[in-house]
Amino acid sequence: MENERPQSKFAEVVDKIREMIAADGLVPGDKMPSERELSERLSAARSSVREALRALELLGLIETRRGEGTFLRDFNDHQLVQLLSTFILQREQTKQDVRLTKEILEMGCLSSLAMLSDLEERMSNLSESMREEGFTERDFFTFLMDASGNSLLKKIWLIVSDYAAAIHKEDRLLTNKDAFIHLIDRVKARNIKDIFDAYKQL
């Protein structure tokens, strides 16, 4: 049981730092408080703060600049996704869960699109975009997420999609565009069952 105590304290400090970043409204590029300041503010031992900062730097969330201090990095850095997928997402069941979650989000997006009154207007530029060289499946669903107007759904999907890409190393080109065009036709017809059937054929 003694081996669990440092991990519990370590996780607590990391969580407190995360809460502090949110409370202070820090954004990428902003300077973090010093190790001493964090220790005092979080009521945590400096050794625990030091280990938490090392972990956050390893994950790519912060960076230390010699002579300047510690700064917040861009949370969208793909290095973070790749690193977490290497260490956390190795169980086969977890990999399947990521893929399934991605599919659920994409089907939810398709369902919400089918209920929009201005669907045709929102989808008007998709066919033109699909003709562009190098247009991928991720580009396709990014367009649909934007068209749905649900920014939270898109943010969640982007994170899950990044994990899926890191695990399965795939972002397919739209070589079989007919299947995707058929899917869009089904969405415009607003029949949920047909939409899901077409989605499964991608």
- CATH, residue 193: 1.20.120
Let me know if residue 164 belongs to a domain.
yes
CB within 8 Å of 107: residues ≥ 6 apart: 195, 196, 199
* 56-67 per-position pLDDT tens digit: 887 677 888 888
Q: Is 140 helix (H, G, I), strand (E, B) or coil?
A: helix
CB within 8 Å of 7: residues ≥ 6 apart: none
Q: Among residues 75, 109, 128, which one ends one of the domains?
A: 75
Say if residue 45 is in the same domain as residue 111: no
State the DSSP string of 92-132: HHHHHHHHHHHHHHHHHHHHHHHT-TTHHHHTTTHHHHHTS
Average pLDDT over residues 134-161: 90
Let me know if residue 82 belongs to a domain.
no
Say if residue 44 is in the same domain as residue 110: no
Say if residue 42 is in the same domain as residue 96: no
Let me know if residue 20 belongs to a domain.
yes
Domain range for 30 is 4-75
Average pLDDT over residues 6-14: 64
Say if residue 68 is in the same domain as residue 114: no
Say if residue 145 is in the same domain as residue 96: yes
Q: Among residues 75, 96, 130, which one ends one of the domains?
A: 75
Predicted TM-score of the model (pTM): 0.59
- CATH, residue 34: 1.10.10.10
Average pLDDT over residues 11-31: 84
Let me know if residue 143 belongs to a domain.
yes
Say if residue 45 is in the same domain as residue 92: no
Residue 2 pLDDT grade (very low, low, confident, very high; cuts 50, 70, 90): very low
Say if residue 30 is in the same domain as residue 102: no
Helices 35-42 + 4-24 axis angle, to 10: 100
Let me know if residue 101 belongs to a domain.
yes
Q: Using CA atoms in the order 101, 181, 121, 173, what is the torsion angle rounded to 10 degrees?
A: 60
Say if residue 71 is in the same domain as residue 113: no
Alpha-helical segments (H) within the chain: 4-24, 35-42, 46-58, 78-87, 92-114, 119-122, 126-130, 137-148, 151-168, 177-189, 192-200
What residues are paired with 69 via a beta bridge? Answer: 65
Say if residue 182 is in the same domain as residue 91: yes
Q: Is the pLDDT of residue 123 over 50?
A: yes
Q: What domain count does the chain have?
A: 2
Q: Among residues 37, 55, 75, which one ends one of the domains?
A: 75
